[in-house]
Amino acid sequence: MQTISEPRTMQAWADATRARGERIALVPTMGALHEGHVALIAEARRRARRVVVSIFVNPIQFDRRDDFARYPRTLEDDAARCAAAGVDVIFAPSSEAIYPEGFQTAVEVAALTEPLCGKVRPGHFRGVTTVVTKLFHAVRPHLAVFGEKDWQQLAVVRRMTADLDFGIEIVGVPTVREADGLALSSRNRRLGPEDREAARCVPRALDAAAEMAATGETRPAMIVARARMEIAAEPRAQLEYAELRDPETLEEVEEATAPALLGVAVWVGGVRLIDNRLLVPVEAERESARSARALDGPPESREAERESARAGRRGLGASEQRSARSARAADGPPESFGGQDR
């Protein structure tokens, strides 16, 4: 594993790797790596020959100077974790390398950045999309892997990548959680013992809302109110937002009759925690089950496939398999044998 700090050196490595016909996967991070990042690296490793992890605490995506100053920086520990996970390159540029003197360009996505975190953190996503663009140009990956914990960020990066024709596959990986349900985050290490215990109200709120949706509640106001109730019950927690949105457009939903994204942001002990849950209404689950059964085909076709498999195990040839199916057809449909597809 090697560490590269200059964008042009990173580009040279990427060009040579591409010339050998090897796929490159990028895992963009701000460091302070944890098992959630390791899951992203593992997914990258499954999809590409070479894996690059970028470690860069991006100053222009922080809306508060104190938050940027306190963000954990643990490059030595991060490097050890990357080496153990099989990373090929750590790209760890300085702020001056990414934003040299005179830098004045920004990349911005419109509608997707307006709700949720965008509403309370002005300029945040402009900082994200600008730095991700810079990382894409430096690493020149075939694919990039992001966590679904930052669902809005993932949606914004996907939109930007498609709109600007980057030709990079964007891969989302499900949120990795601790045993009590709290989403893994680099910010968790800033929680003291009492605040860490209080932070459990976040997954409890998501669980409570998901239970309501699963049992038939479709009114967004009621579902969100249930989540708010769990947060309000914890005196050390302060809710910033809880909203139900379309998982693709991030627009508000009028009725939760299809899968909907519940996004929350909660302050605990001066630490801002975000999380989300895709809520699947009971009717949507039933429809999904019906669709899955429909894809299996009618009973006759399923029985034919099973007979073909059985015949294959017995060593029958294709013509013998067709004869077996013809004989069954002459006997009538499965219903004539007790009413069940056996």
List the catalytic residues.
Answer: 37
How far apart CA 137 and CA 74 sit, in angstroms, is 25
Distances (CA, A) of 235 to 20, 130, 206: 57, 37, 18
How far apart CA 268 and CA 195 sit, in angstroms, is 6
Considering only CA atoms, give the Rg of the chain: 25
Nearest to 271, CA basis, from 70, 113, 73 = 70
How far apart CA 153 and CA 262 sit, in angstroms, is 15
β-strand partners of 238: 267
Q: Give the CA dihedral 146, 149, 152, 154, nearest 10 degrees.
A: 10
How far apart CA 337 and CA 334 sit, in angstroms, is 6
Contact present, 140 and 9 (Cβ < 8 Å): no
Contact present, 275 and 149 (Cβ < 8 Å): yes
Distances (CA, A) of 23 to 19, 26, 47, 81, 142: 10, 10, 8, 22, 6
- 161: alpha, beta or left? (left if phi > 0; alpha if psi -120 to 50): alpha
How far apart CA 209 and CA 90 sit, in angstroms, is 39
